[in-house]
Amino acid sequence: MLNIVLFGPPGAGKGTQSQKLIEYYNLTHISTGDLFRKHLGEGTALGQQARTYMDAGQLVPDRLVIDMVDEKLDEDHQSKGIIFDGFPRTIAQAQALDELLEKRKMPITGMIALDVPDEELVQRIRERGKTSGRVDDQDEAKIATRLEVYRSETLPVANYYQKQGKYVAINGVGKIEEIFQKIMHEINQLQTYR
């Protein structure tokens, strides 16, 4: 199996690259942001609970995220593996994910981190906000909050995977196709050496 954590700040291009990767490697995409937006759209209880956090650019509480992923992992995916996008976003989530995967005998192959400078992130998110309809993409203060939360809560997760020898960083600035090629190259290395 190929189980990849695609990591990086908001606006780094995780969603875009995930789409290409799931197609190329026949993987299942688990994007916690997308899943929450789906719940919101369907008006479920979980969607209601997540809304205030999402609209403010804050993290949804770990328990809600972890239980949602746990449930998602139980679906019969029939794929070659999973891309985790936007998850894990805290150390507690990373530990929980290791336990969830341990239970299912399907370890993480590696984490691929997309590096993009803040100025570029803000520009990309603002641009996306024009068409995405996402409240959190349309407000400077909310964008700033998300970047701060990323730095304080999420960045330590990179270190968690680095300690396991599973961390690779890639420059996330450039043409979508070129970045995709670099990610594929790293995935091939990960597959060869583990």
Catalytic residues: 14, 89, 128, 134, 146
Q: Of 69, 67, 66, 64, whose CA–CA distance to 51 is shortest?
A: 64
Binding status of residue 59 toward ligand ADP by CB under 6 A? yes
Q: How far is the CB of 35 from ligand ADP (least distance, A)?
A: 8
Whole-angstrom Cα Rg for the chain: 16
Question: Can you tell me which of 13, 18, 87, 168 binds ligand ADP, judged by CB under 6 A?
Answer: 87
- In the bound state with ligand ADP, the residue whose beta carbon lies nearer, of 58 and 162, is 58
- Calculate the alpha carbon distances from 86 to 4, 15, 138, 166, 194 in Å: 12, 9, 19, 17, 24
User: Which position among 5, 21, 46, 65 is part of the footprint of ligand ADP (CB under 6 A)?
Assistant: 65
| Residue of 24, 4, 6 whose CA lies nearest to 15 | 6
The order of strands in the sheet holding 167-171 is 28-31, 81-85, 2-7, 110-115, 167-171
Q: How many residues bind ligand ADP (CB under 6 A)?
A: 18
CA–CA distances in Å: residue 156 to residues 170, 171, 172, 193: 17, 19, 19, 25
Which two tokens mark 24?
């190329």
Site string for ligand ADP, 130-169 (x = CB under 6 A): ------x---------x-----------------------
110 near ligand ADP (CB under 6 A): no
If one asks whether residue 172 binds ligand ADP (CB under 6 A), the answer comes out as: no
Which stretches of the chain bind ligand ADP, using CB under 6 A?
Answer: 10-11, 32-33, 36, 53-54, 57-60, 65, 86-87, 89, 93, 136, 146
